[in-house]
Amino acid sequence: MPIRVQNDLPVKEILEQENIFVMDEFRAAHQDIRPISIGLLNLMPLKEDTELQILRALSNTPLQVDVTFVRVTSHVSKNTSTSHIYKFYEAFEDIKNKKFDGFIITGAPVEQMPFEDVDYWEELKGIMEWTKTNVVSTLHLCWGAQAGIYYHYGIDKVLLPEKRSGLYWHHVRNRKIPIVRGFDDMFLAPHSRHTEVPQDLLEADERITILADSDEAGVYMCMAQNGRQIFVMGHPEYDRMTLDTEYKRDSTKGLNPVIPKNYYPGDDTSKKPMLTWRAHANNLYANWLNYYVYQVTPYDLYGTPF
């Protein structure tokens, strides 16, 4: 079933070329169905790349998904045009009185800074507090997951000795929990980060359930409040070439980055990377939409208290 987006969103054409059913506003208005309302707080610098990746990931269910792009107002993006942001994104102030079936908070390239030094931290705190009463389930990604765990549970991130970049093998835990239904015992997922949330602190907190982890990369996914809050420490939405783009960008800047692990065939950076995590990513987003959004959300979001 379709992803519902604005008629002239630039990535709409790319999704259609990939045979992903994208429904524009005009056609959606004539369907007698309540779409699942998803808010996407996009904190990544390349907004359009993230839009494409997330919309692609949300497209693999029978549900009609209506996506609202949300922006913070206390930070000015330097890598996406102002015209694109103001045309396709809603300021949080303009949507704070709405309710959403699901909400996604992305990563951001600020992980080496203390949370309190991030210029939009106070605004983000307000958004995370708002999700407690206005969202059925919130999915936090990478830095967004670290920020959510710090805000809600007081567990801070720590700096890694070097950037954790590449594909890492993960073990499924608590297999009976629906968010990991259909996962293989071991699966690959992308990571791209300089920090982590210590696993021992997460293990010790009874409010948090660890769902998947890695011997090398630590906790990958955990949740709280029976899925009202889900935290994914990696980037399952990344496409084939995202880690390649990051690696070559950092190389050009003279940062001497490590070669992304398990990514290039034979660690040869001139070869095309293998796409080995898409099935897992599709499963993750489909499970989230199905079990933690669609099956638990009230039909009348405004008439039923959370």
Q: Judging by DSSP bridges, how do beta strands 218-224 and 208-214 pair with one another?
A: antiparallel
H or E segment and range at residue 163: strand 158-172
pLDDT of the residue at 80? 80
Residue 48 has pLDDT above 60, yes or no: yes
Q: Provide the residue count of the chain.
A: 306
Calpha distance 155→153 (Å, rounded): 6
Mean pLDDT value across residues 266-286: 95
Share of the chain above pLDDT 90, in %: 73
pLDDT of the residue at 18? 63
Sign of CA dihedral 248, 253, 258, 260: negative
Calpha distance 134→256 (Å, rounded): 44
Which band of pLDDT confidence, cut at 50, 70 and 90, is reported for residue 30? Answer: very low
Q: Which residues contact 20 (CB under 8 A, 6 or more apart)?
A: 3, 55, 56, 59
Residue 109 has pLDDT above 50, yes or no: yes
Round the average pLDDT of the chain to a whole number and report it.
90
Residue 138's alpha-carbon distances to 69, 119, 163, 264, 274, in angstroms, are 14, 22, 27, 33, 30
Q: For tokens 């549900």, what's the residue?
A: 63
The amino acid present at 199, given as its one-letter code, is Q
For residue 69, give the 3-state DSSP assignment. strand
Q: pLDDT by residue (tens digit) across 214-270?
A: 999 999 999 999 999 999 999 999 999 999 999 999 999 999 999 999 999 999 999
Active site residues: 142, 235, 237
51 contacts 9 by C-beta, under 8 angstroms: yes
Calpha distance 97→106 (Å, rounded): 21
pLDDT of the residue at 31? 46
